């Protein structure tokens, strides 16, 4: 039965959760002028945010199946009409668990991970709105490093 509920895998401190709540409150109140539209690219015939595209390509190289993704909001482009936090949903597979643990170790508190046992998927997201772009870049780096380690074995 425990498998049916969403499980929080990452371990952020109580102070970090408070900081996240303060960041969210400040984000809601701040003016959000749109500088320009978010750039999109085609990934497997689906339009995705250009900022997360390199990470998706690196995950694809690992034969990971992704289900959903978003580069999150940003004051650099569209500050609204997107998920507040950057995220990627990975479907469970032979090396997915091992990769998620590697990414958690590598990205530390910046990575929020939940596992949905019923749907056999992992949700990886940025922990802070202000780190959405670094989440995209960090996830790409983790995937490339993980591939290099796997290839060397």
Question: What's the CA gap between 43 and 29, in Å, rounded?
Answer: 34
Q: Quickly count: other Cβ atoms within 10 Å of residue 30's Cβ.
A: 9
Residue 22 CB-density burial (10 A; 0-12 exposed, 13-18 middle, 19+ buried): exposed
Question: What's the CA gap between 125 and 100, in Å, rounded?
Answer: 11
Output the six-digit token pair for 16: 């970090």
- Mean pLDDT across the chain, nearest whole number? 92
pTM above 0.85, yes or no: yes
Task: Read off the pLDDT of residues 76-128 as tens digits, 9 standing for 90 and up.
Answer: 776 767 789 999 999 999 999 999 999 999 999 999 999 999 999 999 999 99
Write the DSSP symbol of residue 9. -
Q: Residue 126, by phi and psi: left (phi above 0), alpha (psi -120 to 50) or beta?
A: beta
């Amino acid at each position: 039965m425990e498998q049916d509920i969403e499980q929080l895998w990452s371990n952020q401190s109580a102070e970090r959760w408070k900081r996240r709540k303060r960041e969210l409150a400040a984000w809601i109140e701040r003016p959000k002028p749109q500088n320009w539209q978010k750039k999109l690219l085609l990934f497997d015939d689906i339009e995705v945010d250009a900022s997360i595209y390199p990470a998706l390509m690196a995950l694809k190289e690992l034969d990971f199946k992704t289900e959903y993704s978003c580069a999150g909001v940003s004051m650099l482009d569209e500050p609204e009409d997107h998920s507040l936090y950057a995220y990627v949903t990975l479907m469970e597979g032979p090396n997915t668990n091992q990769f998620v643990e590697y990414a958690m170790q590598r990205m530390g508190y910046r990575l929020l991970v939940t596992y949905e046992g019923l749907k056999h998927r992992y949700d990886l997201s940025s922990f802070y709105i202000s780190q959405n772009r670094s989440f995209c870049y960090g996830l790409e780096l983790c995937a490339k490093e993980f591939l290099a380690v796997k290839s060397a074995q």
